[in-house]
Chain A
Amino acid sequence: MNRALRRISIAVLVMFLLLLINVNYLQGFEPASLANEPGNSRALSAAQNQYERGSIVTSDGVTVAASKLSTDPNDSIKYQRYYPLGQEYAPVTGYDTLYSQTGIEGAENSLLSGNDSALDVRKIIDLITGKTTKGAAVTITINSKAQNAAYSALAAGGKPGGVVAIDPSTGKILALASYPSYNPDLLATHDGKQLINSDNQLLADKTQPLLDRALEGSYPPGSTFKIVTSSALLTNNPSTTINTSVASPTQLTLPQTTHVLTNDLGEVCSPTGQAPLIYAFAKSCDTTFGKIGITVGAPALNAMATKFGMNNPNLTIPLGVAQSNYVIPPSEALTAFSAIGQFSDTVTPLQEAMFASAIANGGTLMKPYLVQQVTASDLSTVQTTPQAVLSQPVSATVANDVKQMMIAVVQQPEGTAYVYNTAATGLKIAGKTGTAETGTVTGLNDAVFTCFAPYDNPKIAVGVIIQGGGYGATAAAPIAVQVIKAYLASLGNQ
């Protein structure tokens, strides 16, 4: 037995030698490469909390995230992050926790924390002049009035949804709200136990407060997709005008099926079965646009949707944005559905705002962005986001045609959003409603509205989606109107 024991001893010796060699390799040779791994918070966190973190400020000067000296004497971290307007701005600011950052806090983390190499020279100057180094401040494009109107209106409605407002000529995001929201202060705590508790509570919450519906919520666009369908039609058939008479049957039998497509509640679009394109658009006749979709074809719809910003997995503002999808349907019958924003079409509220933005800006879609500029603690500008063209979905002529159709939706008596005409609101809004069937048997449809204003000189484009809101005109449009009013009023005051 001793011989076997001796051999076991040798095996044990080898095991321990392997451990020792491996530990030597790990701690002697690997630290440099491991320190450079992106997720290595030990390498980062020493730096992460080294300086006072920079603030996040709206374009009109409202501070939405800032740091103050921690009041807890046991706190190992000197500064405490806080969010004065918590829930309203949560989808924008994100949060800065012990372990991770999201939203602007995440996207601009290195600048906010003061560790970005762009701040190196200023840090040396701080060292010489004896000034305390601070992280850089981030100015976001958000307009506080528009943001407040968006969040208040969402909260007043009490239904889950998202609102995004864009300045069509620049791509600046003026409002970005999601409801239900959460208070990032809960997650900014340095008490790990409390942090885990809050995080678990938020994750378990059935209303999904952590979901940023404005950027990450995907919903069917419903009839707002008729902007894309019309754009495809007008672009591919230059002879067609908005006054061209198009087939608008009460029932559309779908090719190769016995299914019939009807309008909402079986409504008659036009007694003659023919209507001018602008009339069918304003009245949002599904049969008309289903048929147009079949005529134009799925590839053309797909190309147009892509040019409007859909099917793009890489869009960042710099926060990540969920991809809005147009899936080429397998049959003509389904193409008809896809042309009216059903089938597998999905969009984010941001995408809805981009539809209106592109049309309002003469067919040029500006790249939406959220960070206006980054300012170092000495108030010098570190970086400014340049305005950029994302795409040119339609020509100026076609954009003008669609614009006229969108104003008809609001200003013509047959329009689905006629209640928001100039006489009622004092504004000249152009838009398109959508009421998307979500495929669920019970519950209301999703309410969608995309619009811009003022019609003659567009300053703001708004996209609203309310989950289970019902009709776009009743649930989504009023929120957009309030955002527009608040924003235009703030412009007037300047």
Chain B
Amino acid sequence: MTAPSPAVDPDGPLVGPSRRRTELIMLVFAVALVAFAFANVGFSLKGKLPSVIVEDLAPYVVLVVIAHLAMRRFAPWADPLLLPLAALLNGLGIVMTYRLSAQGNLLTAPLSSSATTIQVVYTALGLGCFIGLLALIREPRVLQRYTYTLGAIGILLVALPALLPASISEVVGTGAKIQIRLGTFTIQPEEFAKLALAVSFAGYLVAKRDVLALAGRRVLGIDLPRARDLGPILVAWAASLLLLVFESDVGTSAVFMGLFVAMLYIATSRTSWLLLGFILFVVGAYAASKLFAHVGERFNIWLHPFAGQNPSHNAYQLVQGLYGMASGGLLGKGLGGGQPYITPLVQSDLVISAFGEELGLAGLMAILLIYGLIVQRGLRTGMLVKDPFSKLLAGGLSFMLALQVFVIVGGVTRLIPLTGITTPFLSQGGSSLVASWILIALLARLSDTARRPPPRPIQEEGLTQVVTLK
């Protein structure tokens, strides 16, 4: 027997539930998982509850609850899964930072015992930005006004480390010039540049999409764009190549290029842009691999990690990550049970290998599915939302997140060449975490707009309808 369908007022607008209660229940679940994981680390390493469990975990719980309340206030119709999923990943990141810093002296780049507290502070910063953004930007289309401003900011942020002296911008020992160091504090501007550029691309493409979609000739069944319309894609391509060459940052370069091409495709629905972008990137990357030793080396490491001197030299990091995940096997060594500290940079670029080692295949798949769910919620928002700018932005941001996860997890698991980019929410460090929260805030704002019921007419009849403007 089927349940009777709920009575729907045939004349009234279709209003779904706001789902804030669902969000709260999911949040409780996420926070509980994080708390168990935190306790697990303590019992595994010290045989007792971590001494800092209250001071490190309580702020996290409070922050998450505040974020939930802010959602109720500022984005009541937002997707209920975004916040819990992101909070879970963020919490797991804190747990892993604690786990690694507990044996921090064994790491090749040592972590101090205060690293966990610092990560919680970053979480506060991230959630602060999340709440602030929701409070400040009530309507996503507002961002469209700043298309060129944000574009300029984005490019400046990308270019800044390349222009600064290596002593300030180089990540020690990697040759990658991607940060700005102020004393002991470092910022990775590209994390924010990605967001600024995504918004800027969306604004630009909304304005130009008709020209980009319609003008051109058809050759061999593929619509070729006009030469004069190639400008933007060539600029994006050149910018991503510059990143590659001057900042040795292959991963971010791929993410930028992918982001732009995907948004171009969403805006125009023309496969030719996709093909063109892909071909340009592959040609550029191939040329760079031949011209620049450090790029070519990555291919060598990827293809032959166990050959000759590679395992103990150039491919050491990748190979140690693989050993770690292999030692984890199906169910993992348990948090605190493995030796993730052997892998260089395990707290940042290779954090996924630490999860693979300690939570096993099961845990790693769960983490991948969490990312997949966030991306799916974002893309779904893109489908639901009405105005083209928001559609583009939601699609672009979701795809960017997916691409970033693909590039780093694929790199660490040797699906593609390993390039050093952060793992959203999980990597230890502030810039990536704050930027990830801003991304979630934007998606939440977009989904709030998408799911918000249309304004209810206050007059039943008449020529002129008066509507309340929010």
Contact = CB atoms under 8 A, between A and B. Distances in A.
Interface string B248-287: 0000000000000010011111000000000000000000
Contacts of B356: 23, 26-27
A24 B403 CA distance: 20
Contacts of B399: 8, 12
B262 A45 contact: no
Contacts of B103: 76
**A27, A38, A40, A196 interface centre (most CB from chain B within 10 Å):** A27
A27 B376 contact: no
B123 interface: no
A1 B329 contact: no
A459 B306 CA distance: 47
A26 B269 CA distance: 36
Interface string B333-375: 0000011011000000000000010001100110010011001
A336 B103 CA distance: 61
Contacts of A20: 365, 368
Contacts of B410: 18-19, 22
Interface in A137-195: 190-194
Contacts of B324: 42
B323 A5 contact: no
Nearest to A30: B326
B296 interface: no
B323 A19 contact: no
B415 A192 contact: no
A154 B200 CA distance: 69
Contacts of B405: 16, 19
A37 B376 CA distance: 39
B34 interface: no
B370 to A, nearest CB: 11
Contacts of B262: 8, 11
Given A18-B415, A27-B330, A99 B319 contact: no
A295 B311 CA distance: 49
Interface residues of A, number: 43
A426 interface: no
A192 B327 contact: no
Nearest to B353: A26
A329 B320 CA distance: 45
A192 B110 contact: yes
Contact of A193 (B110, B312, B375): B110
Contacts of B398: 12
Contacts of A191: 105
A19 B341 contact: no
B339 A45 contact: yes
B319 A23 contact: no
B368 A5 contact: no
A381 interface: no
Interface string B106-133: 1110100000000000000000000000
Interface stretch (B140-148, B190-198, B388-396): B388-396
Nearest to A12: B402
B415 A28 contact: no
B368 A1 contact: no
B330 A28 contact: yes
Interface in B368-419: 368, 371-372, 375-376, 379, 382-383, 388, 391-392, 395, 398-399, 402-403, 405-406, 409-410, 413-415
Interface in A247-292: none
B364 to A, nearest CB: 5
A379 interface: no
Interface in A21-65: 22-24, 26-28, 30-31, 34-35, 37-43, 45
A4 interface: yes
A23 B110 contact: no
Contact of A9 (B107, B379, B415): B379
Nearest to B264: A4
**A11, A23, A24, A30 interface centre (most CB from chain B within 10 Å):** A23
Interface string A211-235: 0000000000000000000000000
A34 B107 CA distance: 22
A132 to B, nearest CB: 23
B433 interface: no
B322 interface: yes
B161 interface: no
A278 B35 CA distance: 86
A190 B103 CA distance: 11
Given A23-B365, A34-B322, A12 B379 contact: yes
A23 B265 contact: no
Contacts of B265: 4, 7-8
Nearest to B371: A16
Contacts of B338: 42
A26 B322 contact: yes
B266 A42 contact: no
Interface string A349-377: 00000000000000000000000000000
Contacts of B391: 1-2, 5
B243 interface: no
Given A4-B266, A12-B402, A192-B106, A39 B415 contact: no
B328 interface: yes
B421 to A, nearest CB: 15
A86 to B, nearest CB: 22
B329 to A, nearest CB: 5
Contact of A27 (B106, B325, B341): B325
B413 A9 contact: no
A26 B266 contact: no
A23 B341 contact: no
A27 B329 contact: yes
A401 to B, nearest CB: 46
Contacts of B403: 15
A107 interface: no
A35 B327 contact: yes
A206 interface: no
Contact of A42 (B339, B364, B371, B382): B339
Given A5-B391, A27-B328, A40-B323, A16 B368 contact: yes
Given A27-B328, A39-B319, A192-B105, A3 B365 contact: no
A17 to B, nearest CB: 9
Contacts of A30: 322, 326
Contact of A41 (B104, B342, B364, B368): B342
B108 A5 contact: no
B448 to A, nearest CB: 18
A30 B327 CA distance: 10
A444 interface: no
A127 B406 CA distance: 49
Given A5-B379, A5-B395, A27-B328, A193 B413 contact: no
A28 B110 contact: no
A13 to B, nearest CB: 8
Contact of B415 (A2, A22, A31): A22
B341 to A, nearest CB: 7
Contacts of B327: 31, 35, 42-43
Given A34-B326, A42-B323, A1 B388 contact: yes
B331 to A, nearest CB: 10
B107 A192 contact: yes
Nearest to B310: A39
A26 B412 CA distance: 11
**B106, B312, B368, B392 interface centre (most CB from chain A within 10 Å):** B106
A20 B328 CA distance: 16
Nearest to A34: B326
B204 to A, nearest CB: 15
10 contacts: A1-B267, A4-B266, A5-B395, A12-B402, A19-B406, A35-B323, A39-B311, A45-B339, A76-B106, A193-B105
7 smallest beta-carbon distances between A and B, as pairs? A27-B361, A34-B326, A31-B326, A193-B110, A192-B106, A4-B269, A22-B415
Given A18-B406, A19-B405, 11 more contacts: A5-B391, A9-B379, A12-B398, A16-B406, A18-B410, A19-B410, A27-B329, A31-B329, A37-B319, A41-B339, A42-B324
